[in-house]
Every structure is written in structure tokens, then in C-alpha cells.
Structure 1
Amino acid sequence: MHDSRPPSIGMRSYLKVEDNRIHLISAGEEGEDPFIEAAPPLRLKINGELLSGRRQVRPDDLVEWELEETPQFQIKYSPDKMRAWFVLMARECRVLRLQDTPVSTDLLVQAEPVPYALPQRLTLIDIVPELEQSKLVQVDYQAIQRELDQPTYQPVLIAIGKEPTLGRDASLEIYFKEQIVSEFEEVNGMIDYRNHLKIPSVKANDLVARKIPLVPGAPGNDVFGAPIDPPRAKDIMMVAKNHIRITNYEAYALKEGRPRITGERIKLIDITTTHVLPGDVDMKTGNIVFSGDVIIYGNICDGMIVEALGDIYVMGNVYRATATATGSIYIKGNAIGSHLYSGHYGVLFNRLCTHSGSLNSQLQLMRNTMKQLSALAEARKQTVSPRQMFQLLLETKFKQIPLTIKEILLCISNIQQIQNGQLGVLKNKLLELMQRPVVVEVNLNKMLDELQFILIETVDSIKRCEELNVRTELQQCNMTSIMSGGDIVIKKQGVIQSQLFSKGNIVFHDQEAVCRGSQLEAEGAILAMTVGGKSGGSTMLKAGEKIVVSHMYEGRVAVGRFAKDILEPVEHMEFRVRQNRLVMHSTLDRNEEPDHA
């Protein structure tokens, strides 16, 4: 409680407010000092320091006051600075003064309206200077005036930035069917493979592809006029390889054959060559390695390997064999006890690519070891020639290098129609490395540099053959492993005791197809018919997007990171993730509420 009585005996001074001023009146040289405090919106300063709460005032103190100004409006901005709002806080502002008080030893300073003074009304002229200082552009002053005339005290949009105009990425317009339609038919007892498999084909001088150039975006700006650049449009580059001519963003074929386009940013376009085998791939033919498409009118027999830097077409079956293609794999019959790799996995499991990469790593590790041994010998003031170290390491720590070289030479020997090009040079370099007397006589570092360069080029050239829109298609498989860079399509009976992995979808076409004792994984969806059964072992289905089954007796399903064991038979069911949980619902009734799995 503030005392407003006259100063009592024993006070050195007292306070009072008069004529809009605070007066400190001396009462003697000894005694107590008075107290002072301000009520909002007043603020007091004593000797220039802002007063907080209640405090004593000495005779030599300088007491000042000011009004804490409450803003009548605010300008607010969105975090991205693309929107600005005007917010009216108070339409009018009253004129205040200090309220007079009698002398007091404990003074509460208060403000009161000035009698007969008109309130100060906020006008557009008062607002414009702050807007100009903020450097806002394209301000809607009419919106501000409407708010001043009819206050809502809600945020009013007064400036909008200009969004950048998105550009368009360059694209490639394809003038041939990329997917092979697998329709194996017989005409007069003869198989017309080219026409009835519908392998994409062009003739000489046909337009294969056309590049649609990128369209750059247009910059925008925020409410302050600062430029905002659009996302940079992505370009692509067309590179002509074998039998392709590029003119004015258009690629034309120079010969008849299957066009192939590989790569993402750099589009490599060529016409693949085709290696045709009229019968089986067996011990008589040997393993098949070909830089192009391989068409086999028979079977791939036990223990054989077929590798293609393109597509593989098999008219018969695949028996306990391996087929690796950087493109697609089409099998008219079945696969039993085999390994099939297509697209991305056709590159990863290509023997020449794998062994070349491995040999390059081994040689680099050996050279690093040689440098360490040289430094150690130099520190001990010993002399050891690089050739001696090379021979010693080759016979002791790096015994795997000669074995890897033999594997690469074996792969090269299996290649059909090899030309005296890069692989011919690689073969000669490897043979030189295996001849120890030659190694002693040549410049070892130069020889290893050249060999590693060729190995890297070999790996890169195989990787550039990877096709994107690939698929692996067959009738059925048993005890087989399939890894596809695209879709896996099972046309007839189904899958038994096999492992399938797809970077796309796994699709069963036939209504009677079964999936038993197998593990299926797809980054996209799995569309299956009958899953599980009375025999055949457990079945696991894992998908990135969804799983659809017609009948499932038992097994395990997983979508994303959610999984469920199926212990009782279900029919016509779809599994997918919704609201961070695995749900299942009938595919017969799309309006049915999903059950939480």
C-alpha cells in the first residue's frame, strides 16, 4: 500500500507528481529516502537505468519517465518470406499524461488520459514509412485501408511473392516398343521367334529416339523482391554407339536389329547384335558369353553358364544352370535348380565384371603393401627392388591374384566373336603378368598402371550395358534363385521352393499358379494366386507397396517394416500399410473397412 500522507518526521525527502513531472523535494539532511514505483504503461528510469519494481530515491537521483508504447499494428511474414500480413492491434491511441499526486513517501506513478484531447487515429500515412523501411514490394495498400475503415483485427494478406516457374527436364521420346511381348506361337510346325516373340526391332534409317530438350524455369521473388531460383532442370545426353547415327537430337538406326538404350543421364543408344544357337547350350557348345542378345532355341543344360550384355531368350528350359543378362530374360519353359540374374543384378553377377573389379582391388592392395615395405626397407637402409617384392607377394600373401587372372582369361575365352579390341588388350596384359621372366624385364609400375586402367574400363563398359526397364519372364520355377532389376512374371504353374527378388513387381498370371515353400521379395507389389499348401514348406512374401493373394493357406507376409503370420486360410485379400500399421481387406469389396493385421 502506497502512503500519500504528508512526509513524516525522520524523512530526508519526499515525492509528488505535479504538472506532468515527478518532483523530489528535500526535507533535511538526515532521515529515510522515499520509495517510488510505476504502473503500466509507465516506465521509470533512475539515473538512466530502467526501474523494475519498487525502489528508494536518493536526493541526488535523476528520475525520468516514459510511456511504454504498445504498437497499433504489426507486419508478419511467413517463414519462406512468400507472404506478408498486416495485423491491426488498436485503431486509436489515447493521449496520456502523469496523474497529479500529493506529497508521499511511497509514490505510485500512474498515467491518465489528457482531458478533452482527441484520440490519435491510425492512418495509412502512419503505416507507409514502416512498409517502405521493410522494403516490401507490391504491397496491397487498399487491403490495409479496408482494414482501417472496418477493423477485423485479423491478419490481412498485403503482399504475395512470385513462385518460380518450374522448368521441364529433358526426356527421350522412344519410337519402338521397349517391352517384349512374350507370345510364343508355332506356324506350320515352325517357331517364328522374331515375329511371335515380338522382340523390339527397327530397320535401317528408322527413327529410334528423339531428345526433347529441357525447358529452363523462370525465377520468382519473395515479398522483399529477393530472387528465388527454380529447381534446375535436368538434362540428358545422347551418345551413339554401334550402328546409330545422331542428328539434331534424333537417333537413327544404321542397320536392322533390336535397339537398346542404357543409362540415366547419359543415354547410350545402339543396335545390339544377336547370337543365335539352334540347339542346346551344353558341353559341346561350352559356356556362352556374348556382347549383345542371345537367342537359344533349345535348353540351357546342367552346369552351363550363359552371360549376355543384352537380353537372353530361351525357347526351352533351364536345368541347373546360370543365366546372366544386363537386359531381360525370357524363358518359354521352366527353370529348375538354376540362377537367373537380369538388369542391375545381371551386372553385379557378371563374371567378367566381378573378377575384373576384384583383380583391380587386389592389385591396388598389393601396390600399397609394396609401398609400405619399401618405406620400411628404406628406414632400415636396405635395398629391395620392386620386382622382387612383387614376386614375393605374388607367391605368399596375394596367391589369389593368379587364380583371379585365370578366371578372367576363362571368361574371355568363352566370349563369342571376340574382336581384337579392349578385351584383346586385357587378355594380352594378363598373359604378360603371368609370365614371370617378362615381369622382371619391363617397367613394373607402368605395366600395372595400364592393366588397372583396362580393368576399370572393362567394369565400366559392362555397367553401361545395364538396361532399366527389364523383366524376367518364365512359365514356372523350381528350386531356383531369381534376381531381377525389374519385374518378375510367372506365366503358368508357379513357384516352388525358390527365392525371388525383384526391384519392381512379382506377378503371377495364371489363376491356377501356386507359390509354395518359397521366399519372394519385391520393392513394388506382389500379386499372387495360391500361396502355401499342405506340403512344400513355409512361404514368405515381402513387398514394399502391397501384397495381393487369391488364396493363402499359411505363411508370412510383410509390407515395409510390418509383418504378419498367416495361420488360418484367407481368400481374396490385400495387405498394405495404412496409418503406420499393416492392414488387410478383401479385394472383392473395396468399400469394406480394412482389418488391422
Structure 2
Amino acid sequence: MTNKNNDLLELIKGLNINKSNIINYTDTKDPVVNNQEILGEDDGYVEVRDHQIFVINPSNNGKQPVLIPNSKLQIYVNGSLLKKEQVVFDDDDIRWNVKPTNDYGISISKDNLQVSLQVYPDLFIGYRLKDQKRARRIMIDIEPVEKYFDVEEIISQIAENIVKKGIRVEINTSAIMQEILDPKFKEILVAEGLPVIPSKDGYIQQYFSSVISEVLEEVSGMVDFKNRVKIPTVEAGEVIAQIFSPREGKAGHNVYGDSLEPKTPKEVIVRPKPRVKISDDGKVIALLSGRPSVTGSSVKQFDILDTYEINGDVDMKTGNIFFNGDVIVRGNIKDGMRIDCSGSLFVFGNVYHSTLTASQNVYVTGNIIGSKVNGGQFGMYYSSVYKIAQDLSVSLKRLQYAYSQLKVALSVKNTEYKIGYIVATLVETKFKEITKNVNDFYQIINKMLENKFQFPIHLQIVMNSLKKLKDYQAIHSIDSEQSLQSIQFSINELIQKMEADIQEESDISFYSSNLSQIKTNGRIIVKKEGIINSTLFAGTEINFEKRDSVIRGGKVEAVKTINAGIVGSAKGKSPILYAGETINITEINQAQITMRNEIIFIDEKITNLELKYNEKTERIESNKRLPSY
């Protein structure tokens, strides 16, 4: 065997690899240094005694001592950082220090209202050199000792560092002292700003229910199914709501001394209709008995609605119904009929091939077949009036701007014309749509008159104002800018009042539907059998109350949530469901599910399916395995 192999065998024999050493082995960045190597008689050495380093040079031909780096320490030999093993001499200047650690941490909250201090154990721990026997190759090490320091000096240092961060509020030095004397090593509050007291917007507390309830009562020993639907009503003089004024908040400041102002509170704008009075202390009082109503979004309108009641069917004998208030039908709505109302619509029967539109809620205690039902929308005539009013408002604004420019140009040329002539010329050359819109408006008014429509006061004002824009001869009679402004104002008032007549979230409820289109800006509630080949749209949610209520064919769309019973069938046409947030289904057989831009096709039976759209991942989450997704 060669000498090289002999050397290898000797090294292997010298390895200490018993079982206990293997178990206790831990990796370290520093090499294991054997300070027990045999020191030659003439070799130099390094010794740490009484926590001081002593270097002894070799004699004769002995080996020079070597200092090995320690990752825990910064060791300097003659001013140079020790990075690798280095020979040292007795006249070398050897210095050391522990690598810097944090004695404490200062943090500022995200809202800049609090300053916290956390003291670390290193604040109380000092280090000294660990005594080691003399060795030619040595890695000096340290051991912890209690650190003595001036408490007041440390507190002053911490406070100074807090101020350096730009903190301009009082620092709680007592809390700092308490933590140093009795450390918990957790974050403590040492300075804080003055938080804003938020403003509170004005709001309305409503004392009446907007929900139509079904109550079974016993009459002469018999359950009264016929009159189970209860429509909320109030008596004259009853307080139906309380308006609360906005409350101003209080300013504050952050830890940097910057002022923090509360948001300006919003006042709730309420406009009572003639049947309602608002007292000085904000009470909303009914002046007549009837069904209370609150509508509008930015402007709230309270009213006690008139009720038009038909004790029977709506058919060719009754004619179409256009009413400014609630409509109650105690019968069926027959083929080809139309009902438009500015309140809620109550139908105690079925709806056949008709069109129903209510500005508020629609309640059908029966089935809807081949019909269109709209809740939270204008009726046919009001929709046309609203669109024309919007178009006229824009055109009149542009007309007034054009007139002001033309007036300046004529003034420069020192030329004068009557205002009526200027406006008529502008309408004839640049704004022909104005006279067309005005004439379309009066055509709708005439149709409304034929149907004995009741005109609210704000519509009557616009009817009178627009006479000045009906034709060019009438336009010539305009004698001031104020006349144009007055027309513009009356149209804007009409738009605002019409918008206020729409309930913010209107409900539609019914038993079942077939081949129908049902839309609302609020909820749709399907109370019994379900829907077949129908289109449903809800501004908030669609709820099928019975677990066995069906969706077969058609399209069901809700901005937020769908709670469904049995969706699709094995053989029929696949329905389409869309929801922006969640879909819960008792049983699904087949359907196309869409949530935002994600689409799933399901063609197998799944029970108790829960779907939720995840905004972060932009994916649909499910409690069940989904096919091909």
C-alpha cells in the first residue's frame, strides 16, 4: 500500500464518529478548532487568561501562533479586520468587539398615531473574552456577562432617537423607565398623537316597514287565506320617521405634529310631499292615512301614497292603468294589459301576457306567464318624459353658452339684436333638436291625457315652460336670459323629482314564472314553484325560497347573490346563471355559471353547491369539485 493510502487510513482512524456524536452534530459557519493539538516546546502560542489575550512568540525554530476568525466577533489585528487565519506576534495590537446588535427597536404605527418601543435582551447583556488554554492555533470566543449601565442615560438616548425620527409629541419617559427596570420584552406605547373624532353623517330612522308581510289570521274559526298579505299603513298624525342632523367631528394630530381634520359630515336631504310634514325637530309626520313611502337616493322623499284599487280582473273593461301612487289588483291581469304606477303594485292573482311597471315594489301572489315586470323603474310614459328632459337639459345648457359667446361678439361689433331673434336663429341653425324634443314631449303629454294620467305639479310647470320653445314664433317671444334660465331650472327640477320617485332598492316577488322577463334594481323573491324559460335581473340578489323551486332554461342574473333550489334538468335546455359575489344551489343538474369573467359549464348532478368569487385570485371558489375548471 502506498504512503498516500496509509495517510488516508490514519486520518480515518482519527475521526470521532460514534453514535452520540452523530446525533448531537449541528452545523455551524465556523470550523471546529482543535485547541488541544500538541504544542511544541519551542512553538509560540496564544492564551486568554483573566479575559485578556496574550501572544507569545516562538523560540528557536518553533512555529508562530495563528489566530482564527470567529463569526460572532469583529477581530482587528493592527487595525485590519481578521477575515482568515493569520499569524500573530506578541507586539501586535489585537482588539475585538461583538458584532452590533439592536438593544431596542422604535416603531411608528401605519396611521402615524402611535410610537412603540420594544426593549431587547441585548440591552442587559455584555460580553467578555472567554478564558482559553494556550494553543498555537486558537479561535478566541466570548461569554455573556451582566451589563451595567446608567438608566437615565439609556432613557435619554432612547428619547433622543425617537425625536430624531421627527416625533413632535410628548414622550412617556416613565413608561420607558418602567420597561427598563422591569423588562417584559414586548412592545409598549411611549408616545401618541390625538386621534380624530370622526364626523357623523345625517341619517333617517324609519318607523314604518317597507316590507309586505304575509300573516295567516283566523276569522270565525277559519284561516283567512284571502287577506293574508298585509300592506303597511299609518294613520294621520303618526310620526313615520325621524331625521337626525349631521354631527361635526373633532380635529386631532399625528405623532409628527401634523393636523388631522375630520371629514365634513353629509346632511341627509329630505323633501316632503304634500301629504307629509317635517317638524322643526326633524320628525316626519303623516298628514293623511295611507301607505307610507320613502324613495330616492341622494334626495329622500317621504309621501303617503294614494291607492287605486281594482276589485277584480284588469282586462279590456278596466283598460290600461296609469296611476301616480299604489295600485292594488284583487284579481288577474289578463292578456295584453299594461299597468304603470309611481308607487308599489300589488296583484292578488296571476299575470297573463301583460306589462307591469312600478317605481317601487311589485308583489304578485300568483304566477307570471309571458309577461314583462319591472320594479324600481319609470313607467312607459314617464321613461319617455325622463329621457326627453335629460336631452333638453343638455341642449339648453349648450344653447345658453352659445348665446353668451354670440352676445360678446355682437358687443365688440357694437351690434344689437333682440334676444328672441338671437335664440331663434341659434335653434334654427345649431340646435334643431330642441324644437323636435319639445314637440315629442307634448305628444307624450297628449297620450297621457288620453289615458287620464294624473300630472304631478313639477310636470305641469315644465309643460307651461316649454311652450316658449314649441316653435320659432314662440321662441321669438323670449325677452330675457332669465326666461331661458327659468326653463332650464324647471327641467332640472323635473329630472331631480323623477329620480327621487324611484325607490333605491325595489323588490319583486311572485310564485312562479314562464316565458317572462322580470327586472328590478333590488331583490327578486321566488316564493313557490320557480321559473321556466324566463329572464330575471336583480340589482342585489335573487332568492328562491323553496329548496325544490326550479330554474329550467332562461337566464338568472344578480349583481350580488343567487340562492337557488333545483337548477337545470337532465334533458331540458341549460339555464344561464350570473352573480357577482356568491351562488348557492341546493341541486344542480346542468347550467352555465358566470361570475365576473369566469365561466363554468356544469353537466352533472351536484348537491349543496356553494360558489364564491375571489377578488384577489380572480377565480371562482367552490366547496365541491367542479368539472373542467
Instruction: Give the structure 2 partner of residue 53 of structure 1.
Output: none
Against the structure 1 CA distance between its residues 361 and 498, is the aligned structure 2 distance closer, same or farther, given a 3 Å change threshold?
A: farther
- The verdict on how the C-alpha distance between 1:126 and 1:561 changes in structure 2, with shifts beyond 3 A counting, is same
TM-score scaled by length of structure 1: 0.69
Pick aligned residue for 2:209 from 154, 158, 177: 177
1:516 lines up with 2:549 in the alignment: no
Q: Quick one: structure 1 residues 41 and 323, their matched pair in 2 at CA, closer, same or farther if it must change by over 3 Å?
A: farther
Which residue of the partner structure matches residue 487 of structure 2? 451
Q: 1-side partners of 2:381 and 2:558: how far apart?
A: 18
- Contact 1:549/1:573 (8 A) holds in 2: yes
Map Cα deviations across residues 187-224 of structure 1 (whole Å, 9 max, x no partner). Answer: 89xx9999632111001122211235555555555445
User: Residue type matched to 2:211 in 1?
Assistant: Q
Contact 2:392 2:434 in 1 (8 A): no
1:564 aligns with 2:600: yes
CA distance in 2, matches of 1:404, 1:237: 29
Q: Note if 1:356 corresponds to 2:389.
A: yes
Match of 1:498 in 2: 534
- 1:333-372 correspondence to structure 2 within 5 Å: 333-343=366-376, 350-362=383-395
Are residue 324 (structure 1) and residue 357 (structure 2) matched?
A: yes
Task: Provide the C-alpha distance between the structure 1 equivalents of 2:351 and 2:480, rounded to a whole number of angstroms.
Answer: 45
User: Percent identical across equivalent pairs?
Assistant: 27
Q: In the alignment, what sits opposite 1:4?
A: none
1:257 deviates by 0.4
- Distance across 1 between alignment mates of 2:563 and 2:467: 51
> Are 2:381 and 2:444, in contact at CA under 8 Å, matched by a contact in 1?
no
User: Are 2:447 and 1:403 aligned?
Assistant: no
Q: Using the alignment, how far apart are the partners of 2:148 and 2:218 within structure 1?
A: 97
Alignment-derived partner of residue 309 in structure 2: 276
Q: 1:236 aligns with which of 256, 268, 281?
A: 268
* Contact 1:387–1:444 (8 Å) recurs in 2: no
Pick closer, same or farther for the CA change 1:126–1:364 going to 2, 3 Å: closer
**Partner residue, 1:17:** none
Rounded to whole Å, the distance in 1 between the matches of 2:425 and 2:194 is 71
CA spacing shift, 1:568–1:595, aligned 2, 3 Å: closer
| 3-state SS in 2 of match to 1:459 | helix
Which residues of structure 2 form unaligned runs of 5+?
1-74, 80-99, 128-146
Separation in 1, partners of 2:299, 2:410: 48
1:492 deviation in Å? 2.3
Judged with a 3 Å threshold, the aligned counterparts in structure 2 of structure 1 residues 301 and 457 are, in CA distance, closer, same or farther, namely farther
Give the partner amino acid of 1:492.
K
Deviations 1:117-143 (A, max 9, x none): xx9945424643873793654534344
CA RMSD of aligned residues (A): 4.6
Distance in 2 separating the partners of 1:176 and 1:325 = 20
Aligned counterpart for 1:144 among listed residues 156, 176, 184: 176
517-526 or 556-565, larger mean C-alpha shift: 556-565
Partner of residue 137, structure 2:
none
SS in 1 for 2:343: coil
Distance in 1, matches of 2:588 and 2:601, equals: 11
Q: Judge conservation of contact 1:168–1:215 (CA < 8 Å) in 2.
A: yes
Name which of 296, 299, 308 aligns with 2:341.
Answer: 308
Matched residues in 1 for 2:217 and 2:191: separation? Answer: 68
Deviation at 1:402, TM superposition (A): 3.2
Shift of the 152–315 alpha-carbon distance from structure 1 to 2, 3 Å rule, reads: closer
User: Which deviates the most, 144-153 or 281-290?
Assistant: 144-153
Letter in 1 for 2:109: S
Letter in 1 for 2:499: K
- The aligned amino acid for 1:484 is T
- The offset of 1:230, in angstroms, is 4.9
- What TM-score comes out, normalization by structure 2 length? 0.66
- Counting matched residue pairs gives 500
* Deviation larger for 239-248 or 362-371: 362-371
Q: What CA distance in whole angstroms lies between the structure 2 residues aligned with 1:548 and 1:570?
A: 11
Report the alpha carbon displacement of residue 164 of structure 1 after superposing the two structures with TM. 4.0
Q: Does 1:196 align with 2:234?
A: no
- Show the counterpart of 1:82: 113
Work out whether residues 155 and 176 of structure 2, in 8 Å CA contact, stay in contact via their aligned partners in 1.
Answer: no
CA contact (8 A) 1:91 1:148 kept: no
Q: Which residue, 415, 418, 423 being the options, matches 2:455?
A: 418
Provide, for residues 331-373 of structure 1, a one-character-per-residue CA deviation record: whole Å limited to 9, x for no partner.
Answer: 2233333322222677998333233223434555677788999
Equivalent position SS for 1:327: coil
Query: Corresponding residue for 1:585?
Result: 623
Using the TM superposition, give the Cα deviation of residue 553 of structure 1 relative to its aligned residue in structure 2, in angstroms. 1.7
Note the C-alpha offset of 1:568: 1.3
The alpha carbon displacement at 1:181 in A equals 1.5
